[in-house]
Structure formats: structure tokens, C-alpha cells
């Protein structure tokens, strides 16, 4: 053993003395490295996914630790492979292999430091942030005093109660009660940002936000500019919708809704984050509108089970020629909240084994939103199934916005004609119902867009250091006022951490994908309608039963992430640029109507100097 070490030392000295250059890596070595890396990461990913599934469906201290441990292993090995793979960066690699190296470098939404202790700290904080959110409860004061824990409400229950509440005081109490969930995790989140940024810098990025923005086949600067370009196309439509809804809320609630600055109090829009407004459609519905149907009410009257709700979604995809869901999907999915344990009820679709072990996790109550959400989540599921034969690093959406858009594009086909075909309604509403239906859709689709944009704009400012921890909440509300025109119902301060009351912040889920999806889904939808031979008003199209539309869809889905997203988009739509023209076309009749309704009304709002003060 001693002699062997001596020989090694002598050899090292001789090499150093002669300064022999390291052997130049070859393309064959790069390919062999990538083959090993993909095989190893695929195995680690399966174990990690199983650990995360258990943690989210059985929240305990033990499952939290196990999930964090597996996250740490996956992140650690990915980081090591990225570092090891850098020696191949100077080679003139074949396009597919070059793309794999790029995707490997961009694969971590939560980049971690090389230091094992810091990496472990990061993954433990991340797991703890997710658990803190999932365990969050709002307990009305009276229930706290009585100690009756059964009258405390998690976010899914609060969502349902806030959607139905028409009492401004009660809504404000629920809003403020839930938003307390963020304050305890503010310092943890600040530390999370520090550690994640360190990991991003070690991978060669300025910060975590820059890493995220690099994942769209363009520079971070180009991506940011592109999002603003898209928003400029839709901002006029949003402002008309905002003005109309504001006037209706003031008519309903009086001083509780009427603000001098023209903003809408966030708690009056039927959603905890004011990100979608469909739950208050009854307040804003045109007075002469034909009787509307309520899918949720129909499902509840028919005593539709959660499984049957999901089967409606499966039937739609199957009608396009896509496969039936695997048997294990029905055995392993979680479709209702268990009575005996905490779970993460936030709806999500899971690809456990990179093959056919796909699952849904959501708590179905039988509402209209549930019906739409099922179609959205199954869009992810069918994307997983379509690209499962791709190499590991190509198993992903062309970009993450595409992944979010597929199911939403299908959900746009939930038209009256479709509902009649599947027997949920007996009569199709007359053409006079088009404006009410478009308004109801806009209350979710259009209302969401500025929220979808500002979430990551806030995070990018946080990651870059432009916003410090002592300004987290002010920056959050500055952006919400600027883009959404909504204000908090009660005064806020930096003692609060309102971003932490939104799932995607503690879970570290990039959010620009949802903004992109909100727009590109209409491009997908229009392309499928054209493939189906439809030529009428875009808002009346349903591609249900069209194999031609299904062929268009699957041709894009099966590419996964193997090609830059403009190529995938062109394969389906003939267009290689995300554009809002399809969305504008869809809502054009509504825009014309809104402008008529808003004549003489103030359009827009005034942004405050101090957004934390709700009452002015």
C-alpha cells in the first residue's frame, strides 16, 4: 500500500514537471457520459417522485424528512453531473446531444450549493416551507377559544367558503385569516433565496431567476421582454373587464367596494388571491342574460362521484384518439381529501416512473372549477404519456408553459354543444347567451393574466437582490396594484408575508409558465379547431370527437422537449411565435360589448405610493 502511494506521488510530480496537457475529451466520451447521466437521473427521479408523493398524501414529520432527503440526493447528483459535464462544453456536439447538455444544466428549479451541508439545509427548508403551507389553517376567534379544531379551515375549504360568501366583512376576515400563514415562514424563505442563489451562481447564472428565464430557448432579457409584449396585447381587454367588474361590485357592496383609486378590494373577487373572478359571476352577470347552466350544480344533482368527474375528462381525450388511462391511474390517484390525515390538496398531475405510472392528486368537491381542473390536470397526464418514449432529458414540455396549456386548450372545448353531446345539459343556450358565456370565461382567463405575470416578476426581483427581505411585502403589493389593480382589504406591513400565502411561492414552483399557458392555449385551441374543419366563431368551437384535431395535438406532445419550443409550436399551429391574436379573436365579441357597457366610466386605476395601506 505504501509503495503504491509512493509511485502515485512520483507519477504526479513527473506529470506536473512536464506539464502534460489533459487529454481533450471526445464526442464519443460526451455521448457515453450523457447516456450514464440520463440512466442514473431517471432512477433517482423515480425514487424522488415516490418520496414526494408519499409526503404530499401523508404529511408527517417522517414523510417530510424522507422527501427532503430524496430531494437532496437528486439535486446533489444533478449538480455533480452538471459540473462534470462542463468539460464537454467546448466540443462541437451533434444538435440533440448539445441540447441535452443544455437541458441538464437548466434542469433544477431549485439549484443548490455544492457544499453538502448547505445543500441539505436548502432541501430541508424547501420541504418545511411546503409543509407549513399545507398544514396552514384559519381558525375563527370563537373556535380558537372553544378549542374546536374541527372548525378550523384549510385552504381548500376556505376557497369554497370565500367563493360563496357575499358578506364583505366575513370575506375580509377569511382573507386576513389565511394570509397569516405566510408570516412565520418569511425568514426561512429569505434563507432559501440565499442558498438557491448560491447554487445558481455555482452553475454559472447570475441568480435563480436568471436560471429560470434561461429555460425558454432565448436569453433571460429576451424572455422578460417577450412577456411584456404579450401583456401589451391583452392589457386593454383586462382594463375593460376590470372597469366593468368594479362597477358591478360597487353596485352590490357600496362603500366596501368603492375606492377613490379605482382599485378592487382583493377579498371581493371570490378567490383568495383575486387571481380568478368566476366565482362572483352572479354579481356581474348581464341582467337580461338567458338562464345559465351551472356544471357544478348539475354534477351535484346527479350525485356524480369524483371518479366519474375524472372519467368525463378521460373521455374527452379518448374521443380525440388518445389512449385510455392505465389501470394503475385509477388505483393510485388521490381524488378526495382523506378524513384521517393532512394532505396537499392543491391539484397536481404526477409522472412517477417516466412511463405509465401517472396519477392525479386533488380534492374534488364536484364544482364547476373541479370539472375544468380535471381537464387541465389530465392535459399534463396525456403529455407525460405521449413523450414517455423520449430519452430522459427530453421528457418534458416543449417549455413549461406548453405543459400547462394542453389541458386548458381542451377545456375551451367545454361548450354548450359539447355538454349536450355528453348528456350534462338538454338544450343548447341561444346565441344571445354568447356574451354571458364569454364574460364568465373572461372572469377566469383574462382576470388571471396579470396575476400570472406578476408572481415571477416579484420573485425575479427577490432573487436578483433588487428587493430585500425588509421590502418583500411592499414589492408584492406594488406589482399587484400595477398589474391587477387590486388592493388588500386590510392594512399590511412587513410583519406580513403575503407571498407565502400563495402555494407556488413556498413550493418554489416557477409561475411564468401559467402566464404563457394562459395565452398559448388559445393558439393550440384555434389550431385544433381548424384541423377539425371548424369555421364559425372561435368561442363556439368544440373539438370533441375529432381525430384530426387529436392527431395535431399528439404530433406536438410526442416531441416532448426534444426540439426548441418554436419548432414544437409550429408543428401544431403553423406558427413559431407565441401570440395573443387567438385569444383576442376568441374574446372580441366580449370586448366590443364591454366597451359599450363602460361608456362614461373610468378605465384603469391609480397606483398608490404606499401599497401596504389598504384604506385610503
- Residues belonging to the active site: 377, 504
CB under 8 Å to 393, separation ≥6 — which residues? 34, 38, 41, 100, 103, 104, 107, 561
Residue 69, CA atoms < 13 Å, CB-side half-sphere: 10
If you ran DSSP here, which 8-state letter would residue 483 be given? Answer: I
3-state secondary structure 246-288: HHHHHHHHHHHCCCCCCCEEHHHHCCCCCCCCHHHHHHHCCCC
The Cα–Cα gap between 501 and 97 comes to: 41
Neighbours of 170 (CB within 10 A): 14
Length of the chain measured in residues: 616
> Cα separation of 192 and 361, whole Å?
26
- C-alpha distances in Å from residue 473, one per residue of 149, 413, 492, 595: 30, 39, 8, 34
Grid coordinates representing 326 are 392505465
**Helix crossing, 220-253 with 434-464: angle to 10°?**
130
Task: Please tell me the distance from the alpha carbon of residue 450 to that of residue 460, in angstroms, as a whole number.
Answer: 16
Query: What DSSP state is assigned to residue 574?
Result: S
Q: Which of 181, 55, 23, 38 is nearest to 127 (CA)?
A: 55
The DSSP secondary-structure symbol of 338 reads: -
Indicate the helix (H) or strand (E) that contains 178.
Answer: helix 168-179
In order, the DSSP letters of 2-31 are HHHHHHHHHHHHHHHHHTPPPPPP-HHHHH
Kindly report each contact of residues 126-129 with a partner whose C-beta sits within 8 Å and lies 24 or more positions away, as own/partner: 126/68, 126/71, 126/192, 126/508, 127/55, 127/64, 127/65, 127/67, 127/68, 127/71, 128/64, 128/68, 128/185, 128/188, 129/185, 129/188, 129/189, 129/192, 129/500, 129/506, 129/507, 129/508
Q: Report strand pairing: 358-361 vs 348-351.
A: antiparallel
Radius of gyration (Cα) for the chain, nearest Å? 25
For 514-554, give the DSSP string.
Answer: HHHHHHHHHHHHHHHHHHTT--S-GGG---TT-HHHHHHHH
For the residues of 388-401, what is the DSSP string, one character each?
A: TTS-GGG-S-SSHH
Judge whether 175 and 272 are in contact, CB under 8 Å.
yes
What's the rounded Cα separation, in Å, for the pair 179 and 165?
17
CA dihedral 93, 96, 102, 104 (to 10 degrees): -120
Amino acid at each position: 500500500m505504501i509503495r503504491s502511494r509512493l509511485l502515485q506521488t512520483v507519477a504526479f510530480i513527473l506529470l506536473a514537471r512536464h506539464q502534460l496537457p489533459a487529454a481533450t475529451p471526445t464526442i464519443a466520451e460526451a455521448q457515453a457520459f450523457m447516456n450514464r447521466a440520463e440512466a442514473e437521473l431517471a432512477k433517482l427521479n423515480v425514487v424522488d417522485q415516490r418520496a414526494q408523493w408519499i409526503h404530499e398524501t401523508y404529511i408527517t414529520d417522517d414523510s417530510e424528512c424522507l422527501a427532503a432527503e430524496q430531494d437532496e440526493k437528486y439535486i446533489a447528483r444533478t449538480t455533480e453531473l452538471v459540473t462534470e459535464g462542463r468539460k464537454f462544453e467546448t466540443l462541437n456536439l451533434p444538435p440533440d446531444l448539445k441540447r441535452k447538455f443544455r437541458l441538464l444544466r437548466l434542469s433544477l428549479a431549485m439549484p443548490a450549493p455544492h457544499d453538502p451541508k448547505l445543500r441539505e439545509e436548502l432541501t430541508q427548508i424547501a420541504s418545511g416551507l411546503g409543509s407549513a403551507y399545507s398544514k396552514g389553517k384559519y381558525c375563527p376567534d370563537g373556535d380558537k377559544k372553544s378549542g374546536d379544531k374541527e372548525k378550523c379551515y384549510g385552504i381548500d375549504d376556505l376557497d369554497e367558503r370565500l367563493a360563496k360568501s357575499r358578506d364583505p366583512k366575513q370575506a375580509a376576515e377569511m382573507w386576513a385569516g389565511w394570509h397569516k400563514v405566510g408570516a412565520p415562514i418569511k425568514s426561512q424563505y429569505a434563507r432559501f433565496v440565499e442558498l438557491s442563489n448560491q447554487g445558481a451562481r455555482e452553475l454559472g447564472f447570475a441568480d435563480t431567476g436568471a436560471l429560470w428565464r434561461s429555460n425558454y430557448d432565448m436569453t433571460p432579457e429576451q424572455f422578460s421582454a417577450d412577456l411584456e409584449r404579450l401583456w401589451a396585447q391583452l392589457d386593454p381587454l383586462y382594463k375593460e373587464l376590470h372597469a366593468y367588474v368594479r362597477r358591478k361590485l360597487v353596485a352590490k357592496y357600496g362603500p366596501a367596494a368603492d375606492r377613490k383609486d379605482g382599485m378592487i378590494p382583493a377579498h371581493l373577487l371570490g378567490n383568495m388571491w383575486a387571481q380568478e373572478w368566476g366565482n362572483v359571476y352572479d354579481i356581474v352577470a348581464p341582467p337580461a342574460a338567458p338562464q345559465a347552466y351551472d356544471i357544478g350544480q348539475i354534477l351535484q344533482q346527479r350525485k356524480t362521484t369524483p371518479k366519474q368527474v375524472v372519467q368525463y375528462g378521460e373521455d374527452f381525450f379518448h374521443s380525440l384518439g388518445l389512449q385510455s388511462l392505465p389501470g394503475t391511474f385509477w388505483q393510485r390517484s388521490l381524488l378526495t381529501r382523506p378524513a384521517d390525515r393532512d394532505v396537499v390538496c392543491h391539484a397536481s398531475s404526477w409522472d412517477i416512473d417516466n412511463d405509465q405510472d401517472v396519477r392525479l392528486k386533488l380534492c374534488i368537491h364536484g364544482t364547476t372549477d373541479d370539472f375544468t381542473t380535471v381537464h387541465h390536470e389530465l392535459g399534463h397526464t396525456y403529455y407525460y404519456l405521449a413523450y414517455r418514449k423520449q430519452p430522459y432529458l427530453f421528457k418534458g414540455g416543449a417549455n413549461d408553459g406548453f405543459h400547462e396549456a394542453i389541458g386548458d386548450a381542451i377545456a375551451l372545448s367545454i361548450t354548450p354543444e359539447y355538454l349536450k353531446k355528453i348528456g350534462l345539459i338538454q338544450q343548447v343556450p341561444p346565441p344571445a347567451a354568447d356574451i354571458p358565456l364569454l364574460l364568465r370565461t373572461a372572469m377566469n382567463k383574462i382576470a388571471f393574466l396579470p396575476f400570472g405575470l406578476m408572481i415571477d416578476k416579484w420573485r425575479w426581483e427577490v432573487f436578483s437582490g433588487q428587493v430585500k427581505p425588509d421590502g418583500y411585502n411592499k414589492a408584492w403589493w406594488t406589482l399587484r396594484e400595477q398589474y391587477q389593480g387590486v388592493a388588500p382589504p386590510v392594512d399590511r406591513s412587513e410583519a406580513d408575508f403575503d407571498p407565502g400565502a400563495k402555494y407556488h411561492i413556498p413550493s418554489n414552483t416557477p409561475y411564468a409558465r401559467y402566464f404563457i399557458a394562459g395565452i398559448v392555449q388559445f393558439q393550440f385551441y384555434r389550431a385544433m379547431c381548424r384541423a377539425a374543419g371548424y369555421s364559425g366563431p372561435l368561442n363556439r368551437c368544440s373539438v370533441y370527437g375529432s381525430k384530426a384535431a387529436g392527431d395535431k395535438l399528439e404530433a406536438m406532445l410526442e416531441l416532448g422537449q426534444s426540439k426548441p419550443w418554436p419548432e414544437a409550436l409550429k408543428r401544431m399551429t403553423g406558427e413559431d411565435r407565441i401570440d395573443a391574436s387567438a385569444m383576442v379573436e376568441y374574446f372580441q365579441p366580449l370586448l366590443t360589448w364591454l366597451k359599450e357597457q363602460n361608456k362614461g366610466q373610468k378605465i384603469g386605476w391609480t397606483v398608490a405610493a404606499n401599497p401596504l395601506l389598504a384604506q385610503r
